[in-house]
Structure 1
Amino acid sequence: MDIEIKVLGPLEVSVGGVSIVPTANKPSQLLAMLAINAGHVVTVNALTEEIWDYRPPRSGVPTLHTYILKLRRKLQQALAGQPGVSSKDILLTRRSGYVLDVEPDIVDAVRYDRLSAAGRAAVNEGDSETASRMLGEALELWRGPAFVDVPAGPQLAIESMRLEENRLSDLHLRIAADLRLGRHYQLLGELATLCARHPLLENFCAQHMMALYRSGRQSQALEAYRRLRASMVEQLGVEPSARVRRLHNAILTGHAAMDDPKFVYSA
């Protein structure tokens, strides 16, 4: 049975190529909660708290049961032509709640976490080639912000924040690995875009400065620092960190360490 679950971007849940994602907001929240916890029971309390932001109405539990019933109907329609398989075999009822009984690894966020962990382990082992490849594969799973088209209650909001923080961290680590591999030219466009999108994130600016310097663009590397400093002073009232200031000085003076691929700015 071909089931696909994607949450790293718009919510996509399909069975045999047929989408079962509801159009209404609250039922889509319900499905997102079941999807991100695939293979595990999600309690009725957790679902009602997510859907009604800790303030479920008196009719909350009966309404939740109605959402489950409608979701099973969509699931059953998608299963048409697959005799012997019922929606109740996939969306199970348990004493305390419900479980989407599928292999967790079919969820893109689960695969992302697995690839991310492997990439970070490679970073710790000093294996830049493997780190770049594994982290790159993890990041390719993203199609936009997690749960981007699903209203986020308290639990989905926390999960979205966790995933986004990990994505930015993995992106920084993957670029650091690529810099160690001497891929500074290939990184210029990506880093310019990241700095435009995240003008207050020092890590990406520092990596951009290094890639520019190693590409023979010292003046542009210094200009990147000036833009970062101006943005931080204007919007936050603070100077760049001491580490970024030291990096700026190394570029300004043409310090020999800047030409060593093993030297990579780290935060």
Structure 2
Amino acid sequence: MRAEIDVLGTFEATIDGVSIVPSAAKPRHLLAVLAINAGRVVTAASLIEELWGVKAPRSANSTLQTYVMQLRKFIAGASSGADRYQPRKVLETKHTGYVLRVDRQALDVDRYVRLASAGRAAGAAGDYENAERLLRAALSVWRGPLLVDLTIGPHLEIEATRLSESRLTDLTLRIDADFCLGRHHQLLGDLAALCARHPHMENFRAQYMLALYRCGRPGQALEIYHQMWATIREQFGVDPSPRLRMLHQAMLVGDPIIDDPRFVVNGWAPDAITR
């Protein structure tokens, strides 16, 4: 059985190339929860909370069982004849809930996690070429926000937040790897867009300042700092972080360390120079 499950974007799930995703919203939602937890038991209580929240109907348990039966029909329809799967073994009932028995490597989210972990390890070892390559490959697995075409419940919302934060971290580290490789000129456009998209994220602002400074545009780099200072001061009543203030001061005095390719604002170890 060859399964493929994509959750980093629109939801897609196939077995041997045949879609097993129902069109009805609730069974589709149920399959998404089971898919992202492939190989792990998801309790019936958790599934009911995810599908209905705090307003679960009295018939929730029996309705959940009906949805499971519908999913098993889709699984059975993915094959025929002698090769027909046993849906109850693919979507197995346990004492407390259900488990989808497919290889975790079938999930795009697991491919992302493996590539990102390898990229972070390469960067920590000072291998910035491989760090950049692996992190770029990890980020390319994303086709959009987690399950962007589903209305998700509390459990998937937590997972969506966790993975979105992980993606942003990996993106800042991939950009740092590019800095270590002397590619600051190529970063300007992407960093300008990221600052516009995430106006309160200091990481991207600091990286944009660094790229501008290294491209011979210190005035614009300092302007980015003052824009950030004004934004967070007005909206939150706080100053930029000590790290950003130190970067600003280093630019004001023309500290030569800023031009060292190993100088980054987020931090690789042991090779990178950070502030």
> Shared topology, TM-score over 0.5?
yes
Match of 1:203 in 2: 203
User: Closer, same or farther in 2 for the Cα pair 1:83/1:229, shift >3 Å?
Assistant: same
* Alpha-carbon shift at residue 8 of structure 1 (Å): 0.8
Structure 2 letter corresponding to 1:61: N
TM-score by length of 2: 0.91
Match of 1:189 in 2: 189
Match of 1:5 in 2: 5
Extract structure 1 runs of 4+ deviating beyond 3 A. none
* Alpha-carbon shift at residue 24 of structure 1 (Å): 2.9
The number of equivalent residue pairs is: 267
* Alpha-carbon shift at residue 88 of structure 1 (Å): 2.8
> SS of the counterpart of 1:207?
helix
Q: Would you say 1:124 and 2:94 are equivalent positions?
A: no
150-159 vs 219-228, greater mean Cα deviation: 219-228
Match of 2:92 in 1: 92
Match of 2:230 in 1: 230
Match of 1:71 in 2: 71
Match of 1:179 in 2: 179
* Alpha-carbon shift at residue 126 of structure 1 (Å): 2.3
Measured in 2, the distance between the counterparts of 1:218 and 1:25 equals 53
Q: In 1, are the aligned partners of 2:172 and 2:266 still within 8 Å (CA)?
A: no
Measured in 1, the distance between the counterparts of 2:105 and 2:131 equals 21
Match of 1:34 in 2: 34
Provide Cα deviations, 1:102-157, integer angstroms capped at 9, x if missing partner.
Answer: 10011011121122222222232222222212211111111111122222211111
Q: How does 1:23-62 map to 2 (within 5 A)?
A: 23-62=23-62
49-58 vs 101-110, greater mean Cα deviation: 49-58
Q: How does 1:232-251 map to 2 (within 5 A)?
A: 232-251=232-251
Measured in 2, the distance between the counterparts of 1:130 and 1:201 equals 26
> SS of the counterpart of 1:151?
coil
Q: In 2, are the aligned partners of 1:79 and 1:86 still within 8 Å (CA)?
A: no
Match of 1:220 in 2: 220
Q: In 1, are the aligned partners of 2:4 and 2:107 still within 8 Å (CA)?
A: yes
Provide Cα deviations, 1:182-237, integer angstroms capped at 9, x if missing partner.
Answer: 11111111111110100110000100111111112222212222222222122222
Provide Cα deviations, 1:151-187, integer angstroms capped at 9, x if missing partner.
Answer: 2211111111110111111111111111111111111
Q: In 2, are the aligned partners of 1:79 and 1:87 still within 8 Å (CA)?
A: no
Measured in 2, the distance between the counterparts of 1:81 and 1:156 equals 36
Match of 1:265 in 2: 265
Measured in 1, the distance between the counterparts of 2:93 and 2:179 equals 50
Measured in 2, the distance between the counterparts of 1:136 and 1:23 equals 33
Q: In 2, are the aligned partners of 1:115 and 1:134 still within 8 Å (CA)?
A: yes
Measured in 2, the distance between the counterparts of 1:234 and 1:12 equals 43
Match of 2:157 in 1: 157
Q: In 1, are the aligned partners of 2:3 and 2:103 still within 8 Å (CA)?
A: no
Measured in 2, the distance between the counterparts of 1:229 and 1:22 equals 49
Measured in 2, the distance between the counterparts of 1:190 and 1:151 equals 30
* Alpha-carbon shift at residue 55 of structure 1 (Å): 4.3
> SS of the counterpart of 1:92?
strand
57-66 vs 127-136, greater mean Cα deviation: 127-136
Q: In 2, are the aligned partners of 1:119 and 1:132 still within 8 Å (CA)?
A: yes
* Alpha-carbon shift at residue 266 of structure 1 (Å): 2.2
Measured in 1, the distance between the counterparts of 2:141 and 2:230 equals 34
Q: How does 1:136-151 map to 2 (within 5 A)?
A: 136-151=136-151
Which consecutive unaligned segments of at least 5 residues does structure 2 have? 268-275
